[in-house]
Amino acid sequence: MIASSQQRAATVSHPALSNQDRLEMYYYLKLTRECDNAILRLYKQGKLVGGAYTGYGNEATAVGSAYALEERDYLLPMHRDLGAHLVKGQSLRNTFLQQLARGESLTRGRDGTGHYADPALRIYGNVSHLAAMIPIAVGIALAARMKKQEAVVMNYIGDGGCNVGDFHEGLNMAAVMKLPLILIIENNQFAYSTPTSKQYACQKLSDRASGYGIPGVTIDGTDVVRVYETCRKAVDRARAGDGPTLIETISMRMHGHSAADDASYVPKGMVDEWKKKDPIDRFERVLFGDRILTEQSKRQIEEKIEGEITGAVEYALEASYPPGAEAVEGVYAP
């Protein structure tokens, strides 16, 4: 059985993970992977237009980081962080309505992927200019403090996006004002087709934190428990008023930038090496070894996920597109 969101809220505030927490994290890892597979199938069938992006290989970073948050906290994820959306409470129905640009979606069919806001869950999805989200996250953190919400803001950026001016300006302001911000650099080896060796000269991107006078740490982004524990510490620090933390997670983008990208620029053998550190397989072995997961409970989780995704996809496919007459409503300022 997977814990309810209410049960998780009661345990997630403590850094020690229970066996039930670890099973739920496993569920979210698997759910994220299968959601991505469903999105790719819809794209290949011509039922989903626009970009189709996956977090294959990045699931542990997305799930582990968001699992450290509470309901009052804000989430500003990127296009490979579907797992963070799901952990924060986003429904599968909303996820696929959004992907398929239906009229019932959170953007009323005006956009797809993660380009949406859900104020009820305090999720503010990505814009295409990813680094531009950082100053927005800083503004939310400042507003939260002014309102005495005791809320934390978690934002993500890639290894490419952290080389943009918004990164420096936003993180510097957050550091100077000691705002409750956690910024996660998802270092997945490529910024579209540009390898990290051609992006920066420092050894670790987290070393930049010292320039802002804040803590910086680099961790294995395929280890979901390590990600959670690191982010939990950063969340507690931010909530206590001690300011932001910069966290660099190391993983591998196992697919191309999007479904339209064949990733032919990736050196041969590199993906095969990283497959050995698949975050789901890795955590599954740990759970089996600790006798928390059994073959029977694994099948139950897989069947649960299959049923949930099938139901959400079928509902979204049957939903209507927005009427053409409403196409520009809410898009342009009056």
Give the H/E segment covering residue 34.
helix 19-44
Annotation says 53 is catalytic = no
DSSP 59-109: HHHHHHHHTT--TTSEEE--TT-HHHHHHTT--HHHHHHHHTT-TTSTTTT
200 is catalytic: no
Catalytic hit among 265, 285, 299, 321:
265
**Mode of pairing for the β-strands spanning 194-195 and 190-191:** antiparallel
Measured at the CA of 198, the angle between CA 193 and CA 203, to 5 degrees, comes to: 125
Task: Give the Cα separation of 235 and 181 in Å (integer).
Answer: 8
Helix or strand or coil: residue 306?
helix
- Would you state the torsion angle of the CA atoms of residues 68, 71, 72, 77, taken in this order, to the nearest 10 degrees? 60
Q: 320-334: b or e for each residue (b if 16 or more CB lie within 10 Å)? A: eebeeeeeeeeeeee
Q: What are 246's strand-pairing partners?
A: 183, 216
Angle at 125 between CA 187 and CA 122, to 5 degrees: 115
DSSP string, 281-300: HHHHHHHHHTTS--HHHHHH
Exactly one of 102, 208, 232, 253 is catalytic; which is it? 253
Selected catalytic residue, list 145, 239, 257, 282: 257
Active site residue 315: no
Q: What is the DSSP letter of 110?
A: S
Name every residue whose Cβ is closer than 8 Å to that of residue 134 and which is 6 or more positions away in sequence: 155, 157, 166, 167, 169, 170, 171, 183
Residue positions annotated with a catalytic role: 253, 257, 265
